[in-house]
Amino acid sequence: RLIVCGHAGAKGADEASWHSRVWRALQGRAATVPTEDGREILVWTEGPQTPIAAKASEPVVPPPPLERPAWIDRPPPEGAAARRLTPSAVGGEPATGRPSGHDALDAALDPESPERLRGILTHRLLEVLPTLPEAERAAAARRHVAARGRRLAEAVQAEIVAEVEAVLADPRFAAVFAPGSRAEVAIAGDLLDPHGGTVAVAGRVDRLAVTDDEVLVIDFKSERTDAERASAGGGHVAQLALYRRLLAEAFPGRKIRCALLWTAIPRLDEIAADRLEAAARRLAIL
């Protein structure tokens, strides 16, 4: 038996639906049968119809009772929970009596402060503008900053746009924004500690450029003074060290390079491999 049903919306049934096509094909060939709700259906049969005989009911034999296993009453074994690290919240440099870069910035800046808003706008432009044709970038940047940075003075808005344009136009950073590079890349994975435990890591890379030979990891920094840069730089070495370990597993055989791009200077500071290794050891990461 095949039952063909259809759906009729506010404008009625779709004439191209299977239901409409079958209905038209059965006109004059199928019997019209009224239903209990006053509608009609078409019933078409071919050849003699033999009713299916009902099987005689068989007595139901209940299954034998199951023996309750002993383990069902035991509590589950206690396993060591995986340690979790968020790259943006770790600090890996030797103790200096100062908080890490993110902590210092968070403590010093009000969530609605002009400094924080400036950093957010700078990061956003560096994420989006490389995807646009060069001729359209300046106008798009001005529109975005004017719309999202209304609380900033026009002079500051112009500085943000000029700063980002200078970074994108600088040939020293061509590899950072090369075709195929990606912005705001989510990254997560498990690493091991010296005791065989698992360390769960999850974060987001500002910019990632992958070639056949190497992987370039970039963290944008918009701090404008030497003091701010000195405070921020140390803590972010640990952040990049975690990204480096995760990416080394994702891209075996390729060199993993990590750098900070200071947008206000502008300058690209690549972090030496031995410094990244030392930061990973301080975080107890193999």
Cis peptide before 114 (omega within 30 of 0): no
- Choose between 237 and 91: higher pLDDT: 237
Which residue ranges form the domains of the chain, and what is each CATH number?
8-43 (no CATH), 83-282 (3.90.320.10)
Q: What per-residue confidence (pLDDT) applies to 98?
A: 35
Q: What per-residue confidence (pLDDT) applies to 94?
A: 38
State the DSSP code for 194: T
Q: Is 272 helix (H, G, I), strand (E, B) or coil?
A: coil
Q: Where are the beta strands (DSSP E) in the chain?
A: 8-9, 12-13, 31-34, 40-43, 83-85, 182-192, 198-210, 214-221, 255-262, 267-270
- Choose between 39 and 121: higher pLDDT: 121
97 confidence band (pLDDT: 50, 70, 90): very low
pTM over 0.75: no
Q: Which of 10-24, 39-53, 235-249, 270-284 has the lowest mean pLDDT?
A: 39-53
**Does position 245 have pLDDT exceeding 60, yes or no?**
yes
Residue-wise pLDDT for 112-158, tens only, equals 688 889 999 999 999 999 999 999 999 999 999 999 999 999 999 99
What DSSP line would sit under 35-74, residue for residue? -TTS-EEEE---SPPPPPPPPPP-PPPPPPPPPPPGGGGS
Q: What per-residue confidence (pLDDT) applies to 105?
A: 44
**Does position 82 have pLDDT exceeding 80, yes or no?**
no
Q: Is 259 helix (H, G, I), strand (E, B) or coil?
A: strand
Residue-wise pLDDT for 197-215, tens only, equals 888 999 999 999 999 999 9
Q: Calculate the dihedral angle through the C-alpha atoms of 17, 22, 23, 28, rounding to the nearest 10 degrees.
A: 160
State the DSSP code for 233: H
Q: What per-residue confidence (pLDDT) applies to 171?
A: 96
**Does position 177 have pLDDT exceeding 90, yes or no?**
yes
